[in-house]
Amino acid sequence: MRNSSGAEIAEGHYDIRKGAAAYAPIIGAFGALAIPTVTVLFTANKDSAPDKFIVLACGLLVVATIGSLTGSIGLAAIGAERDHTANLPAAVMYIAVPVAISIVAVLASFEVLAAIYLEEQKGLFAITTGVGGLAATYFTSFSVADSWTSGPSDPVLKTDWSRTQWISSKQVAYRKANLVAAVSASPVLAGLVLRLCDIHWGVNQRGANWLVAAGLVVSMVGTFAGVQRTKHAMHDSEQKGIRAWEAYSTSLGVGLYTLALLLFLP
C-alpha cells in the first residue's frame, strides 16, 4: 500500500490505549448495575425457589460485579500509558478476561432467574448466555489483530525486534487473531449444540458454589496477570510482545468457562 506521496506504508490500526480508556467507564457502570439485582434477590420471597438457584444467581452477579470493576480499573491504567509498548496488547488480553467473565456471568444469572420464574423459557436464556460467550471470546482475541503496531519506537530496532516475536507483521497478526478467535469459540459452539439438544446437567448446592468460585478464580487470575504484564521492560532488556500461549490461554479460558455454564446451568 502507498500513501499520497507514493511511499510504502501500512495504513490503519487501532490504538489499544485509547480503546482501553474509552471502555473503562462503560465496563465499570455495567458492573455496578448488578448490585441492585443482588439486593433484590436477597430481600425477595424465595419460598418457591430452591436455595441452590438463589445462591447461583447471586454468586454469578457478584462475579460480574467484581470482574467488571477490576477490569475497568485495569483498562483505565492502560489508557494512561504514555508509550505504545509491546506489553500492552498482552495486558489488555489478560484484563479482558474478568470483563468477559462478567458479561457471561450476568447472562447466566438471567438463565437461573428464568429457571425460577419462567421455567419453560430457561432454554432461551441459556442460548443467550452462549451467544454472549461467543462475543466475549471474540473481543478478547481481538487484541492480537493490531498488536503488530506496538514495540520499540526506533524503526530500525523494531524491524530486527519484530523478527523474534510471535506477531511479526500485520499479515501474521490478522491471521493469528482469526485463529485464536476460532479456537476459543469452539468450546462455546460445542456447548450451544449440546444445549440445543437438551444435553446438560443441573447442579446441586456444591456445584453452584464451584461455578461461582471458578468464575472468581478465572477473573482474578486475569486481573493479576494483566497488572503484572503492564510492567515495562528495564533499560537493559528488550520488550516482550504478546506470546502464543498468552493469546490462547486468555480467550480459551473464557470459552471454557462459558462451556461449563452451558453444561451445568439449570
230-237's contacts with Cβ under 8 Å and 24+ in sequence apart are 230/77, 230/78, 230/81, 230/87, 230/88, 230/91, 231/87, 232/85, 232/87, 233/85, 233/87
The per-residue DSSP string of 27-88 comes to: HHHHHHTHHHHHHHHHHS--TTS-HHHHHHHHHHHHHHHHHHHHHHHHHHHHHT-SS--THH
Closest CA to 233 of 92, 88, 94, 75: 88
Minimum mean pLDDT among 53-62, 191-200, 231-240: which range? 231-240
Q: Which residue has the higher pLDDT, 81 or 189?
A: 189
**% pLDDT > 70, the chain:** 85
pLDDT at 176: 93
- Mean predicted lDDT score pLDDT of the chain: 84
Residue 36, pLDDT above cutoff 70: no
Query: Mean of the pLDDT values across residues 60-80?
Result: 87
Return the residue matching grid coordinates 462459558. Answer: 258
pLDDT at 175: 93
Q: How confident is the model at residue 39 (pLDDT cuts 50, 70, 90)?
A: low
Q: Which residue has the higher pLDDT, 7 or 242?
A: 242
Query: Mean of the pLDDT values across residues 212-229?
Result: 92
pLDDT at 3: 47
Query: Mean of the pLDDT values across residues 133-155?
Result: 86
CB 94 within 8 A of CB 226: yes
pLDDT at 29: 72
Query: Mean of the pLDDT values across residues 104-114?
Result: 89
pLDDT at 118: 79
Query: CA end-to-end span of the chain, whole Å?
Result: 53
Residue 258, pLDDT above cutoff 90: yes
Distance CA 78, CA 232 (A): 12
Distance CA 239, CA 245 (A): 17
161 residue type, one letter: W
Minimum mean pLDDT among 120-124, 174-178, 196-200: which range? 120-124
Distance CA 52, CA 35 (A): 19
Q: Which residue has the higher pLDDT, 154 or 16?
A: 154
Query: Mean of the pLDDT values across residues 219-247?
Result: 87
Which alpha helices (H) appear in the chain, and where do they start and end? 16-32, 34-43, 51-79, 87-117, 122-141, 155-162, 170-196, 205-229, 244-264
* Residue 8 bridge partners (DSSP): 2
**pLDDT per residue as tens digits for the range 146-187:** 888 888 888 888 888 888 889 888 889 899 999 999 999 999
Q: Which helix (H) or strand (E) holds 167?
A: none
Quote the cell numbers at residue 158.
Answer: 523494531
Residue 21, pLDDT above cutoff 80: no
